[in-house]
Structure 1
């Protein structure tokens, strides 16, 4: 039984892959903190690797079973031991003209030098950081549950489309497969989908000890200042959080921008657009939030940017007739 595809798939954040010795059914497998080559087994999470990027757009591969990153540890050993994306988990994929990739890692002696991942020998199931490239295949697992998944703050804040999104907010669904994906690190959901989950789906999340906050937002509609406070309150004291709407762009970008403003980040209109915000009215609402936060900060002196409380929201007084 062989893995799907030819092994030439492109690494992309949020997608999940199998890594093979090119042209064979020997798969890179996490065994505790160790790695080895084992025969392909369909559906085994210890052979699945989710592509993630850090703030520097560097690529790492997190194992779906252990939740840890592929990386260098103790010399030339290829391990899967780091729970966070640090220096020794940075990977470089170099495409071969005849198919497959060389996979390279940074050298412990010189962070600028790249060393290839190499099969030890035909009698051993192990890989090491060596001198000769072993040709590896990269096989994308099709139709991910959370499309466009990306860590904004590794291990703390992620964004994606709604689960099973296929063009309409109503496509959203939480089932065993959705929860299985979330269970490798997500403990909290903030949804700006226009449709709230059913009581049965909420029960599934509660059983998995995943909290859920629904803050209804329509595409291209203005998010209110009160809703910004709700977003921050849903995120502030929670565990690792995923934010989604429908496609995972505009409304999700608004929520991510708001969280970062509450954390003390200095964002402008270009930053909002980079995060996916598109509508002028939504950008204006974020700028109002920024002024509201800065107003509170200027009255109270230096503020710990990692623990900013939402400025009190006050609805405008209605004019008397």
Structure 2
């Protein structure tokens, strides 16, 4: 029995993969810290690897069963290690013209890369060697958190909605998506999806110790100033947080920009665009938030008191029309 696909799938953070010797049914598997090759078995978690990205934006593969990361061990052998914070777990996949990938790891904590290869054709063992073995990547099922990346490593992340496939309603929370969140120690979700999760998956999140805040926003539309405050409160009350909407651009970028403004950063329209903000109405809402925050910061009265009186000067003749437009 062969794994699904042809072994030419692209790496995507959050997805689960099988890794084969290209064109065969030999899979990378692990027990404890040892890595070896064995025949494909459907549903076997020891042969499944979750694609993750560390704080240095390096790719790591975590075994779904042992929760350990594929890489180079201290004795220069291929194995599984307990964390992905060090150079030993940095992986580089290079797509080969004949199909599949070469797989390389860092050499002795340096940027020099060494290929992972079979010891020989008759052995199930792998080693850090000199000649590339042709590996296949087989993605399992639908994407989980596509486009995942850290905005602030270990504190704030962004992505598409889990299982997003073109519609907000694709969002889904299940065992695999919770497993992904736990792998990154994410304990807080801020969703700007137009669709709220049903009660049952919200209950699964609570049972996993993950808080969930839904702040409804329609694609390409701006949120209100009150919703900006809800985003701030949802972010401040918890630890590592992930923000998503549907695809993970406009509404997510608006929330990321709002958090940065609340933290005192000075942003302009170009910064908003770099964060993924898309529409003029979203940019206008963020500029209004910036003006509101600057007005509050410059106020000389008590912090919790808003001065509703106009400043002591004669209003121009078009004030009424401006208020109407506002």
* Residue 119 of structure 1, CA deviation: 1.9
Q: Is the 8 A contact 2:54 2:84 kept in 1?
A: no
For 1:118, the equivalent position in structure 2 comes to 117
Task: Name the CA distance, whole Å, in 1 between partners of 2:262 and 2:89.
Answer: 30
Q: Is the 8 A contact 2:27 2:40 kept in 1?
A: yes
Unaligned runs of 5+ in 1: 301-310
Task: Name the CA distance, whole Å, in 2 between partners of 1:296 and 1:83.
Answer: 44
* Residue 219 of structure 1, CA deviation: 2.0
For 1:158, the equivalent position in structure 2 comes to 157
TM-score (norm 2): 0.79
Which residues of 2 match residues 210-229 of structure 1 at below 5 A? Answer: 210-229=210-229
SS of the residue 2:183 aligns to: coil
Q: Is the 8 A contact 1:15 1:149 kept in 2?
A: no
Task: Name the CA distance, whole Å, in 2 between partners of 1:88 and 1:63.
Answer: 15
Distance 1:232 1:166, change over 3 A: same
Distance 1:231 1:83, change over 3 A: farther
* Residue 273 of structure 1, CA deviation: 1.9
Q: Is the 8 A contact 2:13 2:146 kept in 1?
A: no
Which residues of 2 match residues 167-246 of structure 1 at below 5 A? Answer: 167-185=166-184, 186-246=186-246
Q: Given the alignment of the two structures, is residue 80 of structure 1 paired with residue 80 of structure 2, yes or no?
A: yes
Distance 1:207 1:258, change over 3 A: same
- Alpha-carbon displacement from aligned partner over 1:144-179 (angstroms, at most 9, x marks no partner): 243333444454433233234344333433344544
Farther off after superposition, 46-55 or 15-24: 46-55
For 2:36, the equivalent position in structure 1 comes to 36
Distance 1:41 1:237, change over 3 A: farther
**Pairwise CA RMSD:** 3.4
- Alpha-carbon displacement from aligned partner over 1:85-105 (angstroms, at most 9, x marks no partner): 443322222222222211112
Distance 1:315 1:165, change over 3 A: farther
Task: Name the CA distance, whole Å, in 2 between partners of 1:131 and 1:299.
Answer: 66
TM-score (norm 1): 0.80
Task: Name the CA distance, whole Å, in 2 between partners of 1:20 and 1:142.
Answer: 17
For 1:304, the equivalent position in structure 2 comes to none
- Alpha-carbon displacement from aligned partner over 1:187-225 (angstroms, at most 9, x marks no partner): 321111122222233222222322111112222222233
Q: Is the 8 A contact 2:117 2:127 kept in 1?
A: yes
Paired residue total: 309
Unaligned runs of 5+ in 2: 311-319
For 1:127, the equivalent position in structure 2 comes to 126
SS of the residue 1:276 aligns to: coil
Which residues of 2 match residues 11-22 of structure 1 at below 5 A? Answer: 11-22=11-22
SS of the residue 2:286 aligns to: helix
- Alpha-carbon displacement from aligned partner over 1:32-58 (angstroms, at most 9, x marks no partner): 344332322223333222333456654
Q: Is the 8 A contact 2:188 2:239 kept in 1?
A: yes
Q: Is the 8 A contact 1:59 1:92 kept in 2?
A: yes
For 1:45, the equivalent position in structure 2 comes to 45
Q: Given the alignment of the two structures, is residue 275 of structure 1 paired with residue 285 of structure 2, yes or no?
A: no
SS of the residue 2:255 aligns to: helix
* Residue 121 of structure 1, CA deviation: 3.3
* Residue 84 of structure 1, CA deviation: 3.7
Farther off after superposition, 167-176 or 124-133: 167-176
Distance 1:252 1:105, change over 3 A: same
Distance 1:2 1:269, change over 3 A: same
